[in-house]
Amino acid sequence: MQLIDQHTKRIMEGCKARAREAGLRFQDETLEYIVTNRDLLELSPKLMIPTLYDYWVHDVEVLKEKGKYELYPGNPYETVINTRPAISFYNDNNPDWLNVMIFYHVLAHIDFFQNNLFFRHTWDDDFTGQALADKRTIARLRAERGRWVDYVIEFARGIDNLVGYHDELARIDRARQPRTAARVDYYFDVFLQSVRQVKTNAYIEEIERYNRCAAESPHTCEDVFFAEVEHRYPEFGSLYQKYRQRPAPGRQDLLQHLMAHSEFLNREDNRWMKTVIEVVRQTALFFQPQIRTKIMNEGWASYWHEKLFLRDDRISGHEVDYARVNAGVTALPRVGLNPYALGMRLFEHIEALAAKGRYAFGFQRLRDTHARERYDDGRGGGQAFIFEVRENGSDFTFINTFVDQAFIDRHRLFVAGRRLDPARMVWQYYVRSREADAYRQMLIGALYHPPHVTVSPQPGPDGALQLVHRFEGKPLVTEFIANTLLGIEYLWGAPVCLETSEVVPAAPAPAGDGGALPLAAPREEAPPVSHTWQRVRYTMKSRILRREVLDQAAAA
């Protein structure tokens, strides 16, 4: 692993200047490394962070990847990691013109990392430095505790996809609220109503007394008011303190809940486990936005490398080479999805529409097809609009808001289906739908979406931890439940229950065998299969998993 040479670095600096001119914003310093294929194989299980903590699963992955590489050699052009300064990795031996293209692509990624609000919580730290500190902590613990460190890592990673990523964002985003009014709120909203349960007229009297105080002494109002209150209810002060220290309800993810409330983890000689869990949790939080902005991030980078490369004066003579490479990266496949291609085209589409003011209310209100086709408010500003999209969007909002029928029609996109023609024993690929809704649903269905699992506030029998999986039309992967719950049980130190939904096993379908179908033309479009769902509770107790059916609720 070595830094790129001065010549190449100069190319990079030239790219930076041009990218800035075009409007991209990113920190000045970047680091570029040349890596060998072997380095890449060893980096990828660590999600390209060279300083990530050691863990045996990574070793297994490396061994696997090496085997795989023997069969399918192939290298990415570049990889960027979201650190301060941003680090990117390259293969050796790229010609200069190709480097220009790749650097623009990389700079757009960096711009995205450093401006998209979903990355807000990663802006203030250098993750490689943090990871290095964590790696050392874990290495030290491993020297003391041996393999038990790896078990804790394993069990924590088992639930690291349930981290409260959005809560974390909300916590950062929430404007600091003035804390002064809190005591008044507590007194009137909670204390009087729930704790003392005073009568309505007493309550109104208190409000009037407060208003009087406010009118008489606007500056010392609260002190005067509460002096009286504390006299009347001596317990008020301590109750209020308790209330403030209470964690906000429902704002802890599972890992936090375990760290805060598990007796096992809070035992004197198990405290070290919390350090490990916190490392795993922070790492998971760090990678969350990357998974959730794949299409946008790749689209944004492809959009900019195309735009900036064609404008670049240093590469004349290599337009054909460029076109060939670029087509490979950004072609829309006949069947299948290419996030680079899709994201890039969607950004272009948004830009074109926004330039004509078609996201404005005036356009949305138009019903006349002709008027819609010709609509152009002449204000321009398409590019400013996509900059805003890149700042505020994630894959879900990007697709959900902007994939419209015009986009589908313009790029002739469709949802492709596959079915068996049993007479000729071929799979047929066919155009299933060209509706924007169907296409959008297909895309959204493919996005990362971890299950929503919450901790129920009241513990079950034997101090069992009660987890509830909110049903969203899909079951959990059954094979993984046992080992995941085993890990949670270990960390919780008591039994764990998980409530989830599963499909009621159906009777064997008579046509379950492909050959048993009528040997006629390809099967007609099958009616959507309706499943009967039931609520199921898994209980992990003393490392033994039990399953019980709670109730059956028909759902389509």
Partner 1 sequence: MSGDLRDRPGLAMARFSPTMRLRSLDELLERDRQRESDGFPRKIRVGRMIKPGAGRKGKVVVVPTTVEEKLIHDTQFQPPTEDRQGGGSGAGEPGEVIGEEPVRPEGAGAGTGPGQGEGANHEMESSAYDLGRILTEQFQLPNLKDKGKKRSLTRYSYHLTDRHVGQGQLLDKKATLRRILETNIQLGRIDPAEVDTGELMIAPRDKVYRVLSPEKDLESQAMVFFLRDYSGSMDGKPTELVVTQHVLIYSWLLYQYARQVESRFILHDTEAREVQDFYTYYNSKVAGGTQVASALRLVNDLVARESLARDYNIYVFHGTDGDDWDTDGSHTLPELRRMLDYASRVGFTVVERAFVREAGSEVSRYLKASGLLESQSRLLRLDTLPEETDEPRLIEGIRRLTAE
b/e per residue, 309-348, with b = 16+ CB within 10 A?
A: beebeebeebeeebeebbeebbeeeeeeebbbbbbbbbbb
CB of 211 to partner 1, least distance (A): 52
CB of 50 to partner 1, least distance (A): 4
Tokens standing for residue 78? 């570049």
CB of 465 to partner 1, least distance (A): 14
Asked if 468 touches partner 1 (CB under 8 A), the answer is no
Spatial CB neighbours of 43, under 8 Å, sequence gap ≥ 6: 35, 49, 50, 79, 89
42 or 168, CB closer to partner 1? 42
CA 156 to chain centre: 18
b/e per residue, 53-65, with b = 16+ CB within 10 A?
A: bebeebeebbeeb
Binds partner 1 (CB under 8 A): choice among 123, 430, 437, 554: 430
Residue-wise DSSP of 122-140: GSSS-HHHHHHHHHHHHHH
Q: Which of 241, 236, 229, 242 is nearest to 191 (CA)?
A: 236
How many CB atoms within 10 Å of residue 24? 22
Q: Which of 507, 554, 520 is nearest to 535 (CA)?
A: 554
Q: What is the CA radius of gyration of the chain?
A: 29
Asked if 414 touches partner 1 (CB under 8 A), the answer is yes
240 or 402, CB closer to partner 1? 402
The CA distance from 72 to 299, in Å, is 26
- Span 18-47, contacts to partner 1 by CB under 8 A: 38-39, 42-43, 45-46
Asked if 147 touches partner 1 (CB under 8 A), the answer is yes
Binding mask 92-131 for partner 1 (x = CB under 8 A): ------------------------------------x---
Tokens standing for residue 94? 């790229």
Count interface residues toward partner 1 (CB under 8 A).
103
Binds partner 1 (CB under 8 A): choice among 450, 470, 548, 549: 450
Asked if 416 touches partner 1 (CB under 8 A), the answer is yes
Asked if 184 touches partner 1 (CB under 8 A), the answer is no
| Contact range with partner 1 by CB under 8 A, out of 119-127, 154-162, 260-268, 352-360 | 154-162
Whole-angstrom distance between the N-terminal and C-terminal Cα of the chain? 54
Asked if 495 touches partner 1 (CB under 8 A), the answer is no
H-type alpha helices, 44-94: 56-71
Asked if 445 touches partner 1 (CB under 8 A), the answer is yes
Asked if 411 touches partner 1 (CB under 8 A), the answer is yes
The CA distance from 149 to 388, in Å, is 44
Binds partner 1 (CB under 8 A): choice among 10, 23, 27, 57: 57
Asked if 553 touches partner 1 (CB under 8 A), the answer is no
Asked if 175 touches partner 1 (CB under 8 A), the answer is no
Asked if 196 touches partner 1 (CB under 8 A), the answer is no
- Span 506-535, contacts to partner 1 by CB under 8 A: 506-509, 511-516, 526, 529
Spatial CB neighbours of 350, under 8 Å, sequence gap ≥ 6: 382, 385, 386, 389, 402
Binds partner 1 (CB under 8 A): choice among 18, 109, 157, 440: 157
Asked if 176 touches partner 1 (CB under 8 A), the answer is no
Asked if 420 touches partner 1 (CB under 8 A), the answer is yes
* Host H or E run for residue 261: helix 254-261
310 or 503, CB closer to partner 1? 503
| Contact range with partner 1 by CB under 8 A, out of 5-13, 357-365, 388-396, 500-508 | 500-508
Asked if 159 touches partner 1 (CB under 8 A), the answer is yes
Asked if 277 touches partner 1 (CB under 8 A), the answer is no
Asked if 15 touches partner 1 (CB under 8 A), the answer is no
Q: Are 388 and 397 in contact (CB under 8 A)?
A: no
CB of 543 to partner 1, least distance (A): 6
- Span 340-379, contacts to partner 1 by CB under 8 A: 342
Binds partner 1 (CB under 8 A): choice among 70, 124, 144, 373: 70
CA angle at 304 for the pair 299 and 310, rounded to the nearest 5°: 130
- How buried is residue 493: exposed, middle or buried, by Cβ count under 10 Å (0-12/13-18/19+)? middle
Tokens standing for residue 45? 């299980």
Asked if 209 touches partner 1 (CB under 8 A), the answer is no
Asked if 299 touches partner 1 (CB under 8 A), the answer is no
Tokens standing for residue 25? 């914003």
Spatial CB neighbours of 529, under 8 Å, sequence gap ≥ 6: none
Asked if 68 touches partner 1 (CB under 8 A), the answer is yes
Binds partner 1 (CB under 8 A): choice among 74, 95, 457, 505: 505
Binds partner 1 (CB under 8 A): choice among 130, 469, 489, 497: 469
- How buried is residue 150: exposed, middle or buried, by Cβ count under 10 Å (0-12/13-18/19+)? middle
Q: Which of 103, 80, 95 is nearest to 17 (CA)?
A: 103
Binds partner 1 (CB under 8 A): choice among 202, 503, 520, 544: 503
Tokens standing for residue 141? 């613990």
Binds partner 1 (CB under 8 A): choice among 14, 381, 451, 493: 451
| Contact range with partner 1 by CB under 8 A, out of 109-117, 259-267, 304-312, 472-480 | 472-480
The CA distance from 549 to 33, in Å, is 55
- How buried is residue 145: exposed, middle or buried, by Cβ count under 10 Å (0-12/13-18/19+)? middle
18 or 349, CB closer to partner 1? 349
CB of 74 to partner 1, least distance (A): 12
| Three-state SS at 549 | strand
Tokens standing for residue 346? 């969607």
The CA distance from 363 to 404, in Å, is 14
CB of 118 to partner 1, least distance (A): 21
| Contact range with partner 1 by CB under 8 A, out of 14-22, 50-58, 234-242, 454-462 | 50-58
